[in-house]
Structure 1
């Protein structure tokens, strides 16, 4: 192991804007604030950022596939940020869409340093939909955002495939608030809980997250809430996608940024970084589950979560029992439950599952939440020298998984990131159900959700099996109010009905018995 090639996180910074949206920082300013705070956290002057030879910017949520560019910003965020920092990095990249992106970019950056290709890399991201949406809806304009540069496209890293197939999308499986409830209802049915008991379970699971957020100075909603408050449907906590009221959903409209500065150990010492600031990445892993949810073995597990967790711990040379703190990706309760189960953790584990408060309360959603988790984990580990922290990051729909194991303890072995293709081959070889896109006849519900808008029922989403055990997707129209209401009061998984075509032959219709 060489000081020249041992990667180390020397600084981490966060920024949260809560002021007037008309005066909100531009996307590049948000990135720059977090970068400067990361340098300061390392005990360095902001001018050190001009010396980075690598830059990875986490892609903005508004740059997701299919999104229209309604909020002006640079067409090459890494290039614009580098210019503002006075830097000329040899390696400059923009990640593909996915909540895994922060940890993935850290893993890739650490590998580049370990291979001697870089010495000093900034990894940083931001989300600005909080003020951006308000500027749009209130007609405030963007004249003061000076970073809307029209530049050649950036170099991308990561998997850029759309999150779902056209077949899934046309049946409502096209956004997180519609898909994660499918996982949740499958978990409830598997575990045999009644709907009231499971709602209580969800409140009890996430109430501790709000308690952590209340003590986090950078949290978007630093408010502790009771379990009952989280699950009680009110005008301020309306149902979004059953069984999740608003308070159990990640919050998208925030203005937050976070970033880390990663160097070789030799460069850190050359810069004069104190040993007490150094946090090492001991283990990491990256893999995707079977890409389209409709093709997975079930809706209540994640082989990629399990395997990336095992690989990261193995690389670090520790067991999960030796981890002192966790930050599990927490966009919705189902992600936390599947993540904990993948690691063999009880949901009552006294170590808890978040150091920030999680996506619904700490904020930082879109693609950059996990960076906030890493920054806070660095703070936690510096306060407990030698302890280990475990961070997970999840992209799309329990699809893209990235994991990191951290400690202030210097590693006892060289950093060697396993080629993600090794785990990917294992996952891609898993058996998967037959999917039929145009089913007809009898069927049973495998999982489901009921989607609401502000006026009431919008539609039901059904994943079912036909008499040949082939999987299909279907909908219940919002006009079927009695059927939709029944799915929120009595268990829908296992119920039977008839599937047919409607809607000008575009979609499948499921009619409950």
Structure 2
């Protein structure tokens, strides 16, 4: 083990709440977080310039099919940032999409350091949709963002799984956005438990009220406001329904200006740089895996084998049980991500340890793919104040698809850092059975799960995942009937029978009885 043991030595966060017309560029956001991480580690600008590995979290505007790609930004964020901090890393990558990415990158960098392939690594990400969307809406210039951006940089090397989150068939039926897909899991979970719609709304709101209480005391949180369960659950002009059963306050807030960075080093390099030992935090356990890729392929809509197995693998690697965990941060883009994550790990929703250290994505901020970098940075600070305590962090990408888990402590590991090849666990999950899918169903069927999608004016579309009489799974929309859509939000629809038929443009129509 010795000199190659990877250790996290610094972390930095930044939240910009000022005038959008003066907001930092994406590269500036990255640089601020990186400099704060270097300051935290005590290595300064010279130490930051000495990094030999760099991993930048992909911006959401670079997601496949994103309509925000016209917002000016660097075509090679790692190279651009390296130039700004005077670094010349031997290994430099830009990630694919997914909220699991920061933990995945830390797992990867720790492995490279343990193998002697790097000594000092920086991973950093940011989101800038808050100011970018306001600038675009007001017709403001982006010239200050592009003034110092090199135009002739080659494309960056990418890391991660580049596949789109859904198939064209799913996308045609509206299953192409988190706000349309996560409600399917939520409604399925509620129906499985036999909970009434009002009781389930209250349960979700009480869970997220506790998250907002944590955000209130987080200096980097986007909303430093404690919200009551009643406020979160009550649909109003300021808390309109987005995708049933989620009003706005149960959705991750994407339009933020936030950045965060973490520095990982070998023990030898940390000593060489003079980093105080009381700053050191170790990655004791980690794991990465994805559930069956397409949402329609899942065994059901109320579980996540990948969440369960990455949690088990990370605890096994750390050599501890869940009872030894003192601090927890579960990915929280929507309530169901927390509910399923807790269930798969064996946690209760009212666990006295709490399920977030930041306040979660709806309140601390949901900076695109980079939220988990903020949870790691916050966890580092908390663990330093509790020497020997353990912290568990989960990251979730796409649609309860990609999962990454990390376990941290100031305690030095007893064994060498040996990350299991993620392909081993992935083969296990890929071999799980799943329903047959039919793309052009016709005849009788029943609703397996569903959601009602809203505009500001009200509900306009219902998305149904159903099973035909042969047990095959299909996607469909319902007729756009106001009374039908309204009723689907007040009466349980899971199990409701009806008729499905292929419609125009390849969109199936399910008409409930």
TM-score range, shorter chain: over 0.9
2:199 to 176, 193, 197: 197
Encode CA deviations 1:130-188: one digit per residue, 9 max, x unaligned.
00001111011101113543321100110010000000000010010000000000000
Q: Distance in 1 between matches of 2:56 and 2:217?
A: 28
* Structure 2 partner of 1:6: 5
Structure 2 partner of 1:508: 508
Structure 1 residues 258-295: Cα deviation after superposition (integer angstroms, max 9, x where no partner): 01010001100110101110000000000010000101
Give 1:20 shift: 0.4
Task: Give the CA deviation at 1:97.
Answer: 0.5
Structure 1 residue ranges (4+ consecutive) displaced by more than 2 angstroms after TM superposition: 146-150
Q: Is the Cα–Cα contact under 8 Å of residues 311 and 405 in structure 2 kept in the other structure?
A: yes
Alignment of 1:96-495 (within 5 A): 96-145=96-145, 146-150=147-151, 151-477=153-479, 479-495=480-496
Where does structure 1 lack aligned partners over 5 or more consecutive residues? none
Contact kept in structure 2, 1:285 and 1:404, CA below 8 Å: yes
Aligned residue in 2 for 1:95: 95
Equivalent residue of 2:230, what SS?
helix
Unaligned runs of 5+ in 2: none
Query: Aligned partners of 1:229 and 1:421: how far apart in 2?
Result: 44
Question: Is the alpha carbon distance of 1:33 and 1:52 closer, same or farther for their aligned partners in structure 2, counting shifts above 3 Å?
Answer: same
Partner of 2:48: 49
Aligned positions, number: 510
RMSD of aligned alpha carbons: 0.8
* TM-score of the pair, normalised by structure 2: 0.99
Q: Deviations over 1:207-247 (max 9, x none)?
A: 00000000000000110000010010000000000000000
For residues 160 and 58 of structure 1, the distance between their equivalents in structure 2, rounded to whole angstroms, comes to 13
Contact 2:80-2:149 at 8 Å conserved across structures: no
User: Which whole-Å deviations, capped at 9, do the CAs of 1:390-448 have from their partners, x for residues lacking one?
Assistant: 00000000000011000000111000000001100100000010100000011100000
Name the residue aligned to 1:497: 498
Contact 2:333 2:366 in 1 (8 A): no
Q: What pairs with 1:61-76 in structure 2 (closer than 5 Å)?
A: 61-68=60-67, 69-76=69-76
Describe the shift of the 1:86–1:61 C-alpha distance in structure 2 as closer, same or farther (beyond 3 A). Answer: same
State the Cα deviation string for residues 52-90 of structure 1 (Å, max 9, x = none): 000000000111011242211110000000000000000
Between 1:38-47 and 1:126-135, the stretch displaced more is 38-47
User: CA contact under 8 A between 1:80 and 1:147: conserved in structure 2?
Assistant: no
SS of the equivalent of 1:368 reads helix
- After superposition, the C-alpha distances for 1:21-53 in whole angstroms (9 at most, x for unaligned) are 000000000000000000111122123111000
Normalising to structure 1: TM-score of the pair?
Answer: 0.99
Partner Cα distance (2:266, 2:188) in 1: 45
Contact 1:99 1:396 (C-alpha < 8 Å) held by counterparts: yes
